[in-house]
Amino acid sequence: MPELPEVETIKLELSHLIKDKKIKSVTLNLAKQVKGDRQKFLKLITGAKIKNISRRAKTLIFELSNIPHPHPLLIKERGTNGAKKYYLVFHLKMTGQLIYRGKSGKLIGGGHPIKQDLKELPNKYSHVIFNFNDGTRLFFNDQRQFGWVKLVDETELKKMDNDYGPEPLSKEFNLKYFEKYLAQRNTAIKPLLMEQKFIAGIGNIYAAEACFCAGLNPTLSAKKIKLAVVKKLYQCIQNILKLAIKKKGTSADNYVDAFGREGQMINFLKVYGGAGEKCYRCKNILHEIRQGSRATVYCPKCQK
């Protein structure tokens, strides 16, 4: 599943590519990819402009403007002139992709290798297609169909925002907050780092990497971690996420950036996906365990 660095990469790239573009039409090939009232979704976003693009945790948010006012749908619902802000919220889940194509239908931009199955778009996984006025297009692809897009207003967006803890690269995520939270929890540290109410945007990849960086056994109870190690873990989280954003994320499974390119962070991972291989530090064999429904790879010698 794309985590914070992968979604941040897509956000940064799409901000340059589609900001201020007007949505001419939407092609909906698989209805379940759109959550909520699909007819309202299609009617309200047609003709809207993408004003801004942001990220919250693992979700991508398009702020819309220029929705026609008064809009008949909104007048009927609210008895007003329909003046209301709307947002498109995307969650890519396991295999979701947002891929941009230029007017000719060809890839825009260069760099990393292109996945072969993305050279021809649309394809059988292109479930929602946003067609812009200038002839460019944005494809919402999803092989396993767990991802979704939803049209929400400001009230709904605020409710969604409240489901998450602080962003790990924000000033709200400070060492004092981190220390206090860990001291109160008897949960194993690695699954705890993946709790979105605690920290927004960290998943299996970066939780495993942060534990290795700090020399922490992923099964250790959070409240038993020594203060010096807590400080190291805090620094590891921030440093790893910053590096991952710089490297445009980890292309494990189906993740690609907005151009269809693979991220390069996979070349810098120390434990994730490395079960049975030699430890980067001590050359001991990396072990894999199950924590809940997720696999965790760690070094039993380096991580105490």
Give the catalytic positions in this structure: 2-3, 58, 294
E strand or H helix at 4, and its extent? helix 4-17
Q: Are 256 and 19 in contact (CB under 8 A)?
A: no
Give the residue among 221, 216, 218, 223 at the shortest CA–CA distance from 180. 223
C-alpha distances (whole Å) from 170 to each of 39, 160, 199 are 37, 18, 11
Neighbouring CB atoms inside 10 A of 204's CB total: 22
* Strands 34-35 and 148-153, bridge-based pairing: parallel
256 and 264 Cβ atoms separated by less than 8 Å: no
Alpha-carbon Rg for the chain, nearest whole angstrom, is 21
CB count, 10 Å around CB of 175?
Answer: 12
Q: How far is CA 181 from the centre of its chain?
A: 24
CA distance 113 to 262: 6
Neighbours of 197 (CB within 10 A): 10
- Alpha-carbon distance of 290 to 182, in angstroms, equals 21
